[in-house]
Amino acid sequence: MAQAGADVPTAADAPLAFRPVTPDAWTLIVGALLLVLLVWVAWTLTRLGRLVDRVDRAWLALDTQLQRRAGLAEELARTYPSAVGEDRAEYLAAFAADARRPVDGDRELAENALGRELRELPGDLRGVPAALRTDLEGTAIRVSLARRFYNDAVRDTRALRRSRLSRVLRLHGRRPLPRYFDIDDRLEQAAGAGRPSL
């Protein structure tokens, strides 16, 4: 014998019916999305500011090492011309002066010329104090590291600024994109560690 009311479906047995989203629910959804967007914008602006500072600090470190390398090269050329050869000393001094204040404004070209000249120095710089030779070698390493840190900071800044949402919202303002600093800073022959003198 069947029980009365057993065939009547209850609310728990009924399939979930589609209920239209109320205006209050839409307001909550839109508010939540706006809040997420605001948090992301605030985070991105903070990150962009930190990256700009990082690029500035990295450039200062790189510029310091480049100036130091030019100063040491000039000291070597002016103080010990016989160790590098009279003609080469004149070229080295000229390249060092141009690297400090490039005449044509192309710093990378001037630094490449100086680096090439330093790599072509004789392996044994007779008469040059060991401290100066060591300083030149150490500066070559520090230039390479500083350039790598600078270019890493530029890469990170460019990647964040080129993201689609950053461009749409123009979070970078009117600041120009930082440029990479590309020079040939090979270390295998820097500062007189290259070919032996003849």
What is the number of other CB atoms lying within 10 angstroms of the CB of residue 86?
A: 9
Question: For residues 73 and 76, what is the distance between their CA atoms, to the nearest angstrom?
Answer: 5
pLDDT band at 186 (very low <50, low <70, confident <90, very high): confident
Q: Give me the mean pLDDT over the 72-93 stretch.
A: 92
pLDDT tens digits, one per residue of 23-71: 888 899 999 999 998 998 888 888 988 999 999 999 999 999 999 999 9
Q: 67, 63, 68, 118: which is closest to 92 by C-alpha? A: 118
Q: Give me the mean pLDDT over the 163-172 stretch.
A: 79
Question: For residues 187 and 198, what is the distance between their CA atoms, to the nearest angstrom?
Answer: 22
Instruction: Name the pTM for this structure.
Output: 0.76
Domains along the chain with CATH numbers: 45-192 (1.20.1440)
DSSP letter for 198, please.
-
CA dihedral 191, 192, 193, 196 (to 10 degrees): 170
Count CA within 13 A, CB hemisphere, residue 160.
20
Q: Give me the mean pLDDT over the 176-190 stretch.
A: 80
Mean of pLDDT over the chain: 85
CA of 49: how far to CAs of 45, 55, 150, 160, in Å?
Answer: 6, 10, 16, 11
pLDDT of 53: 95
Question: For residues 69 and 74, what is the distance between their CA atoms, to the nearest angstrom?
Answer: 9
